[in-house]
C-alpha cells in the first residue's frame, strides 16, 4: 500500500499497518477427490454417461445382468481425462491429476437403463499459492502530485499495539526509486497489523 505525504523539504508520515500489508503464507495445492456411489442397478442393457466438472461425457456400456458393484467397476475402468478412477463395491473414486480448485457439474445419466447414483466431493480442490512477503511502500510527493525528484534518506520507528518499540535491525528497508521508501519483512522482523510506523525522510544528497 502506498502512503502519499507532502511536507516541504522534510517529509513525515505516520501509518498503522493494515492486514493487507502483512505477509501471506504459502498455500499447498490439493487435488480434488470425488466419490460416485451407484445406487440403482440396470433394468435393461444400454449406455450410461458420466460427467466430471462439466467435461465431455464418458459413455459406459451396461448390461441388465450387472449388479451395482459391476456397474461401479465398469465406470471406474473408463478413461476420464485429467482424473484417475478406481472402484470399490458401489463406490467409484475419481482423483484429479492437478492440484487446483475445480468448478462445474458432476452427473450420471442412466437413460433407459435406469442406473443412478450420487456424487460427493470428499476433498475439494485447492489452488496452490506462493507466499507473499509483508511490505509497505511510502511515496513522498512534492509539487504537482508526483514523487519528489530526488533520493531520500530516512529514520523509522515502529511500535506494536502495546507501544513497544520493534527491532528493525533485520527489516529490509530500501529506496527503490526517487521519492519512495519501502520496508519489507526480514527473517525475524515481520510487519503485523496494528503496528504504528513513524517515518521522517529528507533529501539524501
Q: Using one digit for the tens of pLDDT, what is the confidence trace for 105-163? A: 999 999 999 999 999 999 999 999 999 999 999 988 877 778 888 888 899 999 998 99
Among 166, 34, 153, 170, CA closest to 104: 34
Residue 203: what pLDDT? 85
Ramachandran angles phi, psi of 70, nearest 5°: -65, -40
Bridge partners of residue 70, in order along the sequence: none
The yes-or-no verdict on residue 10 having pLDDT over 60 is: yes
pTM, 2 dp: 0.67
Q: Predicted confidence band at 9 (pLDDT cuts at 50, 70, 90)?
A: low
Residue range 26-69, pLDDT digits in tens: 999 999 999 999 999 999 999 999 999 999 999 999 999 999 99
Separation between Cα atoms, residue 202 and residue 150, nearest integer Å: 9
Mean pLDDT score, 164-170: 94
Beta carbons within 10 angstroms of residue 4's beta carbon: 12
Which are the contacts of 119, defined by CB distance < 8 A and separation ≥ 6? 34, 35, 36, 106, 107, 108
Separation between Cα atoms, residue 185 and residue 166, nearest integer Å: 12
Residue 172: what pLDDT? 95
Domain locations in the chain as residue ranges:
2-26+130-203, 31-123
Amino acid at each position: 500500500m502506498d502512503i502519499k505525504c507532502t511536507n516541504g523539504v522534510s517529509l513525515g508520515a505516520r501509518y498503522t499497518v493494515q492486514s493487507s500489508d502483512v505477509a501471506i503464507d504459502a498455500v499447498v495445492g490439493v487435488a480434488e477427490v470425488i466419490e460416485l456411489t451407484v445406487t440403482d442397478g440396470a433394468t435393461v442393457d444400454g449406455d450410461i454417461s458420466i460427467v466430471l466438472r462439466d467435461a465431455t461425457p464418458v459413455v459406459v456400456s451396461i448390461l441388465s445382468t450387472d449388479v451395482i458393484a459391476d456397474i461401479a467397476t465398469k465406470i471406474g475402468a473408463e478413461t476420464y481425462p485429467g482424473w484417475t478412477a478406481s472402484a470399490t463395491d458401489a463406490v467409484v473414486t475419481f482423483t484429479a491429476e492437478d492440484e487446483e480448485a475445480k468448478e462445474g457439474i458432476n452427473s450420471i445419466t442412466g437413460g433407459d437403463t435406469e442406473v443412478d447414483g450420487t456424487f460427493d466431493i470428499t476433498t475439494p480442490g485447492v489452488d496452490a499459492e506462493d507466499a507473499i512477503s509483508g511490505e509497505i511502500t511510502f511515496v513522498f510527493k512534492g509539487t504537482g502530485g508526483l514523487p519528489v525528484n530526488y533520493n531520500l534518506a530516512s529514520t523509522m520507528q515502529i511500535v506494536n499495539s502495546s507501544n513497544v518499540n520493534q527491532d528493525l535491525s533485520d527489516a529490509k528497508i530500501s529506496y527503490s526509486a526517487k521519492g519512495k521508501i519501502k520496508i519489507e519483512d526480514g527473517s525475524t522482523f515481520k510487519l503485523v497489523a496494528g503496528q504504528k510506523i513513524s517515518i521522517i525522510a529528507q533529501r539524501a544528497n
